[in-house]
């Protein structure tokens, strides 16, 4: 496979762009260490057939800003394995172990789980290099996907929007695109606060129910290995049908660039809580701002996972992780929305200015000679 390397560098990064290959096992991978001013970079490994250098760089930059905004002693990075995440487990393990071996000397990168990988894969990386977050509980890890750390943070961000009179959760209909480890828990925490889940999707299809889905039934159905399109509690739809579905809260929790200039005008939500990384193009977010749709940016709203990982890496426990997630995401979301209103700019612009200033301040303490 010919991996093209062409990304925009600036005064923040990236520090490293590494292509990792092991032909013997079919490994094709990309690692971007964007910035380590705060400390060794934390960022997940995702597996997808179409992952690219550009996508990994954008995700690494999001991690730089996410970790800086959260006040973590870690910089930002990301990696991607070009492969089918639905491959047999033993084949996936071979690729994961090969990647770990290939990056064993890149000690300023601490990998973690992302789309397509699991706690078991993190244990395999730990076995190879001893440097990872997102471990199984038996190895001292905090089960962030099982507990829903990222989804919890997304719900906290929406709570702040409610406190600022942007939405009323207990009167809201919610759409969730991607009911995996992030989306299903974001739905669960919002439903606990009285919201009605009216549309969900996974990689195979979507289902809608204007009067609300049986979320507990859907969760059990998914945990049994089924796809949402087979769930009997609603009407089967295409994933793209969710874009313009009537709702107040829309949670993208899957792939990048779900919202573009071509479909942003179709969205009917009042609040978009970005559970996924880079789920909207810059053009789409500009349109949302013009329309008065509040976007809770990814590196603010979905920081729960990396906060949990950092707490785990520092030897903390589950209670400490969730307390820290709530404190940091609540404070950052409020600051971003207040800055957005005061300057009449999109929340992402306000969030980027805030995070960028923090990164540059940390870089100022680096040795310059």
Choose, from 66, 78, 222, 328, the residue flagged as catalytic.
78
3-class DSSP state of 180: coil
For the record, the structure tokens of 257 come out as: 């660039």
Angle at 283 between CA 245 and CA 335, to 5 degrees: 85
3-class DSSP state of 213: coil
**CA-to-CA distance for 185 and 63, rounded, in angstroms?**
21
Q: What is the number of other CB atoms lying within 10 angstroms of the CB of residue 165?
A: 7
Residues β-bridged to residue 21: 28
- If we measure between CA atoms, which residue out of 20, 27, 31, 76 comes closest to residue 55? 31
Please answer whether residues 38 and 360 qualify as being in contact, where contact means their C-beta atoms are separated by less than 8 angstroms. Answer: no
**CA-to-CA distance for 290 and 345, rounded, in angstroms?**
9
Catalytic, 78? Answer yes
For the record, the structure tokens of 72 come out as: 């973590």
Q: What is the number of other CB atoms lying within 10 angstroms of the CB of residue 319?
A: 10
Residue 47: what are its φ and ψ, rounded to 5°? -120, 125
Q: What is the DSSP letter of 82?
A: E
What distance, in Å, lies between the first and last C-alpha atoms of the chain? 40
**CA-to-CA distance for 254 and 296, rounded, in angstroms?**
16
Between the CA of residue 328 and those of 66, 132, 146, 333, what are the distances in Å?
Answer: 11, 22, 21, 8
Pairing of strands 41-48, 109-113: parallel
**CA-to-CA distance for 83 and 149, rounded, in angstroms?**
26
For the record, the structure tokens of 313 come out as: 């890496």
State the number of CA atoms in the 13 A half-sphere of 54 facing the CB: 6
**Catalytic amino acids?**
78
């Amino acid at each position: 496979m010919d991996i093209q390397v062409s990304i925009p560098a600036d005064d923040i990064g990236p520090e490293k762009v590494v292509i990792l290959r092991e032909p013997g096992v079919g490994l094709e991978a990309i690692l971007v260490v964007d910035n380590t001013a705060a400390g060794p970079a934390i960022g997940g490994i995702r597996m997808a057939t179409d992952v690219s250098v550009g996508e990994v760089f954008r995700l690494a930059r999001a991690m730089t800003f996410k970790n800086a905004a959260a006040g973590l002693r870690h910089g930002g990075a990301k990696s991607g394995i070009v492969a089918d995440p639905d491959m047999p487990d033993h084949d996936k393990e071979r690729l994961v172990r090969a990647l770990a071996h290939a990056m064993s000397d890149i000690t300023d990168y601490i990998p973690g789980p992302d789309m397509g990988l699991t706690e078991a894969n993190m244990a395999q990386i730990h076995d190879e290099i001893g440097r990872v977050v997102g471990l199984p509980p038996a190895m001292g890890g905090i089960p962030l996907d099982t507990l829903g750390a990222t989804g919890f943070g997304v719900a906290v961000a929406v709570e702040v929007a409610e406190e600022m009179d942007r939405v009323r959760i207990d009167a809201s209909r919610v759409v969730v695109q991607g009911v995996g480890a992030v989306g299903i828990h974001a739905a669960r925490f919002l439903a606990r606060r009285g919201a009605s889940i009216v549309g969900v999707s996974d990689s195979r299809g979507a289902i809608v129910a204007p009067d609300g889905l049986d979320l507990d039934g859907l969760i059990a159905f998914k945990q049994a290995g089924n796809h949402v399109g087979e769930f009997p509690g609603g009407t089967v739809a295409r994933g793209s049908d969710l874009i313009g579905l009537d709702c107040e809260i829309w949670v993208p929790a899957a792939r990048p660039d779900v919202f573009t200039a071509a479909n942003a005008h179709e969205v009917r939500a009042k609040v978009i809580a970005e559970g996924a990384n880079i789920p909207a193009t810059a053009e789409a977010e500009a349109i949302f701002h013009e329309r008065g749709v509040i976007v809770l940016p990814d590196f603010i709203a979905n920081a729960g996972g990396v906060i949990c990982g950092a707490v785990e890496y520092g030897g903390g426990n589950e209670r400490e992780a969730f307390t820290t997630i709530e404190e940091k995401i609540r404070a950052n979301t409020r600051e971003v929305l207040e800055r957005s209103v005061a300057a009449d700019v999109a929340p992402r612009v306000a969030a980027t200015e805030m995070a960028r200033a923090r990164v540059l301040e940390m870089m100022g303490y680096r040795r310059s000679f």
